[in-house]
Structure 1
Amino acid sequence: MPFQSLDERIKNFITGRLKWIDLMPIQKNAIPTVKEGKDLLIISPTASGKTEAIFIPLFDDILKNNLEPLSILYVLPLKALINDIYDRMERWCEPLNLTITKWHGDISPSKKEKFIKEPTDILLITPESLESFLINKNTDTKRRIFKNLRYVVIDEIHYFAASDRGIQLNSLLNRLKRYTEDEVQRIGLSATVGNPKTVLRWLTDDEDAKIVEDKSQISPQYKVIYGGDAAIIETLKRYSDKKILFFVHSRKDAERYHDMIRKHLNPKNVFIHHSSIDKKIKEESEENFKRAKNGIMICTSTLELGIDIGDTDIIVQNHPPLQVSSFVQRVGRSGRRRNPPRSIVFCDDEKDVFITLAEICLANEEKLEEIGIPEKPKDIYFHQILSSVFEYGKIKKKDLFYLLNKSFVFSNIDKEEYKLLIADMIKKDFLEEYGGYLSLGYDFEKEFGKRNFMEFYSVFPSSYDFVVREGLKDIGRMDAFFVINYLERGSDFALGGENWKILEINYDTFEIKVKRTRGGEAPHWYGTRGVMDYLVTRRIYDILLNDFDRDNLRYLDDASKMILGKFQEEALRVGFEKGVIPIEFDDNERRVFIYTFGGLRVNVLLSSIFKVYCGVYSIYDSPYFASFKFRGGFGIEDIRDITRNIEDILKDENLKVHIFEKANKLVKNKFIRYLPEDDQITLKSALLFDECGLIDVLQENSLKLATSTPFKAW
């Protein structure tokens, strides 16, 4: 759509107030598609102008065609993002005489009531607030408010799609159709999506829907430095005139580096941002950093998503993240003003050099982790059944099936599965059936009615991290994957530079009570950085075999290159090669290492299988290998017997019993516990194990004995 065809008020705002000379590439590509009325997914890096690529055509439509409120429903995952987008939109809305409302838990009842009486052109909201709205407002109110709706925008769609909240949102968008009079155009926004066609299907069933990507971005510039705190301080000194976003992995590290940088560099502008800091202080830091010409913002993943912090020159990362998508998301936060994105990654662990190089290679090839959307998410189905009955008061049983089945996320759940679940819910008194109609049962309010049903709306944990506590003091956090697979009462582990012994694990409240310990075997398990999976670890194996784009070596400093060369030589010496899974036997320890390089979820599943079928013990897994001790005669043929029959074994009931013992500890959300046991196992296992990755790596590679390797320390 040519710039000249825009409403005069928008053109004047863009050229006069914003002082834009031209539209950004993603805006030129996306705006005509939006104006065609097609559903679309827009993929473009942070700060590329994709948000404004939506503002311009939607605001133009409202102004030119005098659309009645409510015209735009804008869904975001976090209150902080709602506040940020609200501020950015308000700068457009005020001169264009458009109205906007933000709706979340911190907004006063009086402002919400004002919106109910007089809907605005735009509503910013979270899925939980939208759910509450659909349940608590009467039908006439909802029809009055949503009847004019023309657009639904889902920002940070990658954050939603594979999560419980995304399943909820997909269902809510389907339920919303009851109250709209016209066809609603759906638009998704994201900086990083590994499988955009799947995410587009999640967004819409429109076969003419389009994906618009920004291919004009300048290639990032990287620098990988092997070194610790001294190297970080020395490097930051050289960039004192730049604006730097400094990512660390924990709140404790954020506080430590904040103090260290203030002490050694004494910069004029140094800020800190993590989840434990008061909301107002974080917002003040964001605004001050945005206005500063130079300075350092030290943050955890709280600033990975698109909160506007202005132009940033360099992204510094103390250790790489464990997912390519996260790496790309972070790097994309720099490079505004048409400059290339720049990132410096510090590694003080040899493995981190390989992780960083693997992620650079994958990012340059535009290969990201695929977003996995559950095939049959019956826990959220359970929740949406109750929510829909709550909304309608009563509804015919057959009508409810067809209502929910129209949602992409529930389309694979057939009528028989629906009937079985409904029967189970009636038996447990969550539902009642009378004359073919379903209504809420006595135990629904008993279980979920506390705090005016707030427990029902906010059903999904923000993360699956366990809080580690010594008395009342928080020591840190550990990923649920590690806790469930490796830790139990009496286990030792390391966290925050200290050794701890577990006194108690509460799986319902995600808490671990510990005491300090000394001596004994060094703890193996740590979980502060999350889980690394198949895509990155398989690329690391390729790098060990020297099978990668060597042009990427230019990003590594000399120390990193020496580490790379050292381990490549070792891989060649011990027998690592293409198409092979190396097997190392340590006869002194009676321990075996199976080097799948398939990711932690693959290796945990593989070790579990050997435990069930071969009675192995002392399991010790990493993203690179599955390892365990064995009794009696055990050799490579025993491993081959298991691996060549892997698909049949994964269906075996004996294995399912063992997996359920592990999976049952995971409290995925508040509703999964009410499902039949088989459904619980299926849903929880998908979080804890990677069956597809295991099948793939075993079928694509053969087993081969290797000599003693240094990789067992990985």
Structure 2
Amino acid sequence: MLHPVVLHHIVNTLQWPGLRPLQEAAVAPLLAGSDALLLAPTAGGKTEAATFPILSRMAAENWQGTSVLYLCPLKALLNNLTPRLATYTGWLGRQAAVWHGDVPESRRARIRRERPDVLLTTPESLEAMLVSVRTDHRGFFSGVRAVIVDEVHAFAGDDRGWHLLAVLERLRRLVAAERAPAAPATPPAEAAGAAELQVIGLSATVGNPGELLRWLQGSGAGRRPAQVVAPDLPAVRPPQALSPAPPAGEIELDYVGSVTNAAKVLAALHRGEKRLVFCDSKKTVEELGQALRGLGVTTFLSHASLSAEERRRSEEAFTEARDCVIVATSTLELGIDVGDLDRVVQINAPTTVASFLQRLGRTGRRAGTTRNCLFLTLTESALVQAAGLLSLWGSGWVEPVVAPPEPRHIVAQQLLAYCLQENRIGDRTWVDEWNGLAPFDRSAEPIVRHLVRAGYLDSDGGMLFVGPEAERRFGHRHFSELTAVFTAAPEFTVLHGRDEIGRTDPVLLTDPVEGPRLLLLAGRSWRVTHIDWKRRRCFVEPAAGGGRARWLTYGDGGMSFELARAMRDALLGADPPVPLTRRAADRLETVRDNHLNVVHQGGTMIVRTEDLTDVRWWTWAGERANRTLVASLGDLADPLQTPNAAYLRLRTDVTSAVWKASTADLASRLCLPQVTDEALAGLKFNTALPPRLAEATLATRLADLPAATAVLREPVRFTALGA
């Protein structure tokens, strides 16, 4: 069914004996023009599964101009994929090109002139092209027929997903408007509406593939044919249907107690092999990298606060080396090719099963090898979390990917961006530009009125255009801040001579210190020689040791209800279906003994200390549910607390009788959590919303009403420590 030229090169150039199951299953629906979600483990051939049929359509139907967009969440992933896609398009005498923030202007100018058949980019760069005065966006994008979204789960779980959907709806309108004059037979309503773009998502395992595909279709959901293609993956089961199942792969759980001990284990194990070590904080990456180098291990680092050049050098060197370690955050979790890995090591535990599956999938790619992961936990809490996570994974459960609710701030951003794109839009007709996709529909009228009142938009003669407040807040550097959905933490650029090493938290430059000010970055210590406060730069020179690492992070909602409950099960004696080292098994038993008073299979526990100075409700419900419960309990809860995933603090004089009377109907009157100014500052474009709407948006995202309701329906046991 594939185009003869594509088929010829698969057989003769790639010398493949056949297609993988996913690639074979994807051919028919994609050639037929269906929207699709292609699911397979990492390195499952998803890129080829999407591109071979789409290139076949391109050749058979003689698509012209830039007809395919390939969207990725990371610039590094785009850089990694471009040579492959350039090869495949070259088979047909076509071209592929990459466009993102690091691509120089000279190359962008060439892309504008030559208009490659396949453009690899990010949603943010796509929007920047739509609003740029240098790009003829109508001419450039008029021929787009298909959009491939790689690692779609990485978009869908946060606001970048809403931004992606909104930009694709604007693209549909643009393409439809440009096609209409050339197709006079097209009914006027259809010509003025959305174009029939084929949308294809690529993803690893998710818990709700059907819902994810409908979400990705945007305004096309229910109107266009769609199919989930996942022949390599078993059905995902809901948590209540879980039953033990022997997992595939070599997984082991260990407890080491410190970064120093983790480095010693890594230095001693699997010598001569290529190892990828995942950490869930940049600080741990830096500390572990320095410790490994101190033990003579060839070590490379990768995280988002290292310069692009530093990351590129590390990833290229790691790809070519053998006996080495690369220590990374989730930047290497996605499909970036770092060569043929032997081992994956996880420091502590990720917060989702889906993330673990991504990391596990980096190994076992060679014939005769097995997927593997060694967990090295540094704390008792991380040990229990890893045990709970592995139990969920071993039972076949994966989190559903759910878009954040009520993205009103993205609606405001889109209205401003669309005004930039078109110069001015009708104050009544703007609602049509997103093809009826909620929440970019008529429900956004209060946001439009606020934007006009606050000066973000000006209104004149029935038209809306960018106002002075938008220019003041977002107008510098050609409105580049308007196309970035997230608020970046303030960081200083660190320079050694003219070479950029990366970025660091300004707190490290202002904290009082005795002696030289030392930073830890790129796995090396540096002495600060000069700070340029105005330009947010600091200059450094190498130091022997003693550097510190720190970065400010915004919360992501915290641990889920399911993982918190799996941790409770681990404390109650449930072992994960993987081998535990002797020290991990011994420490887990110790932790269980120390938590006998705070876990119970039959419900939740309210535990008071003997001196009555501390009362905790051990819900094991996750952070968002516990925030919801604190807000709903009113003066029964300690107001000066930040709830964690396991418990929340109550007023010290709460008795069983008071509790029963106060919570009898609480499930029917749950409240959203309180929003602090600091938390609101992390919601980009919050100033473009009415204050109450901004607070309501964030409060909704901090809450978990279903989990809080489930907890309130469970029996509660009162006890005292030592009882």
TM-superposed CA distance for 1:670, in Å, is 3.6
**Counterpart Cα distance in 1 of 2:506 and 2:134:** 45
In structure 2, the residue corresponding to 1:215 is in which secondary structure? coil
Q: Is contact 1:583–1:703 with CA below 8 Å preserved after alignment? A: yes
Q: Deviations over 1:151-170 (max 9, x none)?
A: 10111111211322221110
TM-aligned CA distance change 1:530 to 1:340, over 3 Å:
farther
> Is the contact between residue 77 and residue 156 of structure 1 (CA under 8 Å) also seen in structure 2?
yes
Q: 2:229 aligns with which of 178, 192, 212?
A: 212
Whole-Å Cα distance in 1 between the matches of residues 567 and 349 of structure 2? 14
Which secondary structure does the structure 2 equivalent of 1:598 belong to?
coil
Map of 2:239 onto structure 1:
none
- Whether 1:634 and 2:645 are equivalent positions in the alignment is no
Tell me what 1:313 maps to: 342
Q: 1:40: Cα distance to partner?
A: 0.7
Aligned counterpart, 1:519: none
Equivalent residues of 2:39, 2:203 under 8 A apart: yes
Distance 1:263 1:664, change over 3 A: closer
Compute the displacement of 1:107 (Å).
1.5
Q: Is 1:367 aligned to residue 380 of structure 2?
A: no
- Residue in structure 1 matching 2:127, options 106, 126, 131: 131
Contact 1:152 / 1:186 at 8 angstroms: preserved in 2?
yes
1:542 aligns with 2:569: yes
1:317 alignment partner AA: Q
Maintained 8 Å contact 1:245/1:316: yes
| Partner residue in 1 for 2:352 | 323
Give the CA deviation at 1:295: 2.5
Distance between the aligned counterparts of 1:239 and 1:541, measured in 2? 33
Match of 1:253 among 263, 275, 284: 284
Shifted more, 419-428 versus 149-158: the winner is: 419-428
Q: Displacement, 1:559?
A: 2.5
The number of equivalent residue pairs is: 637
Instruction: Decide which of 203, 225, 235 is 2:216's aligned counterpart.
Output: 203
Partner of 1:332: 361
Corresponding residue number in structure 1 for 2:320: 291
Q: 2:94 maps to what in 1?
A: 98
AA partner of residue 229 (structure 2)? V
Q: Indicate the residue corresponding to 2:256 in structure 1.
A: 227
SS in 2 for 1:594: strand
C-alpha distance after superposition, 1:449-503 (max 9, x if no partner): 222222222242257999754461689xxxxxxxxxxxxxxxxxxxxxxxxxxxx
Cα shift at 1:393: 2.6
- Report what 1:56 is aligned to: 52
Q: Which moved more, 1:681-690 or 1:431-440?
A: 431-440
Matched residue SS, 2:674: helix
Query: Once the two structures are aligned, what percentage of the paired residues are identical?
Result: 28
CA distance in 1, matches of 2:76, 2:553: 30
From 533, 538, 563, give the equivalent of 2:560: 533
Give, as a single letter, the amino acid of the residue that structure 2 aligns with 1:316: V
Contact persistence 2:557–2:702 (CA under 8 A): no
Q: Residues 640 and 703 of structure 1 are in contact (CA less than 8 Å); yes or no, is this contact kept in structure 2?
A: no
How much does 1:530 deviate? Answer: 8.3
**2:636 is aligned with 1:623:** no
Of the candidates 682, 689, 694, which is equivalent to residue 696 of structure 2?
682
User: Superposition pairs for residues 188-587 of structure 1, below 5 Å?
Assistant: 188-204=201-217, 205-207=220-222, 208-215=225-232, 219-228=248-257, 229-230=260-261, 232-234=263-265, 236-264=267-295, 266-267=296-297, 269-338=298-367, 339-404=369-434, 406-407=436-437, 409-410=438-439, 415=442, 417-461=443-487, 469-470=506-507, 472=509, 531-546=558-573, 548=574, 552-568=576-592, 574=597, 576-587=599-610
Please state how far the C-alpha of 1:309 moved relative to its aligned partner. 0.9
Task: Return the alpha-carbon distance in structure 1 between the equivalents of residues 674 and 473 of structure 2.
Answer: 28
SS at match of 1:113: helix
Q: Indicate conservation of the 8 Å contact 2:299/2:326, yes or no.
A: yes
| Partner SS for 1:317 | strand
Stretch of structure 1 that moved more, 527-536 or 663-672: 527-536
Superposition TM-score, scaled by structure 2 size? 0.81
Partner Cα distance (1:374, 1:72) in 2: 28
- TM-score scaled by structure 1? 0.82
Partner residue of 1:26? 22
Matched, 1:673 2:696: no
- Letter of the aligned partner of 1:540 in structure 2? M
Write the distance in 1 (CA, Å) between the matches of 2:684 and 2:252.
Answer: 44
Give the distance between the partners of 1:613 and 1:465, measured in 2 at CA: 39
Q: Distance in 1 between matches of 2:293 and 2:476?
A: 46
Residue 405 and residue 66 in structure 1: after superposition, are their counterparts in 2 closer, same or farther (change >3 A)?
A: closer
Distance in 1 between residues matched to 2:13 and 2:690, nearest whole Å = 59
Q: Match of 1:480?
A: none
Q: CA deviation at 1:529?
A: 10
Distance 1:605 1:142 in 2: 45
Quote the Cα distance in structure 1 between the aligned partners of 2:164 and 2:460: 29
Correspondence for 2:526: none
CA distance in structure 2 between the aligned counterparts of 1:528 and 1:249, rounded to whole angstroms: 13
- What residue number does 1:497 align with? none
Query: What is residue 80 of structure 1 aligned with on the other side?
Result: 76
Residue-by-residue CA offset, 1:387-412 (whole Å, 9 max, x unaligned): 222222332233211323523x526x
Letter in 2 for 1:67: W
| 3-state secondary structure, aligned to 1:666 | helix
User: Which residue is 2:627 aligned to?
Assistant: 604
Match 2:710 to one of 668, 671, 696: 696
Structure 1 counterpart of 2:670: 650
Query: Is the contact between residue 618 and residue 629 of structure 1 (CA under 8 Å) also seen in structure 2?
Result: no
Distance 1:396 1:431 in 2: 12
Give secondary structure in 1 for the equivalent of 2:272.
Answer: coil
For 1:410, give the aligned amino acid: P
Equivalent position amino acid for 2:287 in 1:
R
SS in 2 for 1:159: helix
For residues 601 and 474 of structure 1, the distance between their equivalents in structure 2, rounded to whole angstroms, comes to 32
Distance 1:212 1:706 in 2: 51
Give the secondary-structure state (helix, strand or coil) at the position aligned to 2:606: strand
Instruction: Tell me how far 1:566 sits from its aligned partner.
Output: 4.3
Q: Taking structure 1 as reference, are residues 474 and 60 closer, same or farther at Cα in structure 2, changes over 3 Å only?
A: farther
Matches of 2:402 and 2:556 in 1, distance apart? 20
In the TM superposition, residue 115 of structure 1 has moved relative to its aligned partner by 2.0
**Structure 1 pair 465–191 and aligned structure 2 pair: CA distance change class (3 A):** farther
Instruction: Give the letter for the 1:46 counterpart.
Output: T
* Equivalent position SS for 1:706: strand
Instruction: Please name the residue that 2:721 is paired with.
Output: 708
Cα 1:357/1:142, change in 2 over 3 Å: same
Q: SS of the counterpart of 2:716? A: strand
Per-residue CA distance 1:411-443 (angstroms, 9 max, x = gap): 6x6x3x433222222222222334433333343
